[in-house]
Amino acid sequence: MMVHPSVHVPSSCVIGENVVIEEGVTLGENVQVGHHSVLLKGTILEEDIMIGCNSVLGCQPFKNSRIQHENNAEGELYVGKGSRIGNGTIIYSGTKLSREVMVGDLASIRENTVVGQATVIGRNAMVECRTLIGERCLIQTSAYITADMVLEDDVFIGPEVSTSNDKYMVRTSTSLKGPHIKEGASIGNNATLLPGIIIGKNAMIGAGAVVTKDVTDGCTVAGVPARKIP
Torsion sign over Cα 33, 8, 21, 90: positive
How many residues sit close enough to a copy of itself to count as binding (CB under 8 A)? 65
Torsion sign over Cα 208, 214, 219, 223: negative
Which neighbouring-strand residues pair with 17?
A: none
**How far is residue 215's CA from residue 60's CA, in Å, rounded to a whole number?**
36
Select the span of 6-14, 29-37, 41-49, 69-77 touching a copy of itself (CB under 8 A).
29-37
- Please name the residues in contact with 66: beta carbons below 8 A apart, sequence gap of 6 or more: none
Torsion sign over Cα 221, 189, 79, 98: positive
| Choice from 156, 180, 181, 199 touching a copy of itself (CB under 8 A) | 156
Residues 200-219, mask of contacts with a copy of itself (x by CB under 8 A): ----x-xxx-x-x-------
| Choice from 5, 6, 8, 64 touching a copy of itself (CB under 8 A) | 64
**How far is residue 70's CA from residue 57's CA, in Å, rounded to a whole number?**
20
Residues 102-141, mask of contacts with a copy of itself (x by CB under 8 A): x--xx-x---------x-x--xx-x-x-------x-x--x
Residues 178-197, mask of contacts with a copy of itself (x by CB under 8 A): --------x-xxx-x-x---
| Choice from 25, 31, 43, 52 touching a copy of itself (CB under 8 A) | 52
Minimum CB distance to a copy of itself, residue 28 (Å): 18
Cα-based torsion angle of the residue sequence 79, 137, 121, 41 in order, rounded to the nearest 10 degrees: -20
| Choice from 23, 74, 218, 223 touching a copy of itself (CB under 8 A) | 223
Asked if residue 150 lies in contact with residue 185, where contact means CB atoms within 8 angstroms, the answer is: no
Asked if residue 121 lies in contact with residue 104, where contact means CB atoms within 8 angstroms, the answer is: yes
Q: Is 179 helix (H, G, I), strand (E, B) or coil?
A: coil
The full length of the chain comes to 230
Neighbouring C-beta atoms of residue 80, cutoff 10 Å: 21
Nearer to a copy of itself, 2 or 8 (CB): 2
| Choice from 26, 162, 174, 220 touching a copy of itself (CB under 8 A) | 162
Interface residues toward a copy of itself, by CB under 8 A: 2, 16-18, 20, 34-36, 38, 50, 52-54, 56, 59, 62, 64, 66-67, 84, 86-88, 90, 102, 105-106, 108, 118, 120, 123-124, 126, 128, 136, 138, 141-142, 144, 146, 156, 158-160, 162-164, 169-171, 186, 188-190, 192, 194, 204, 206-208, 210, 212, 223-225
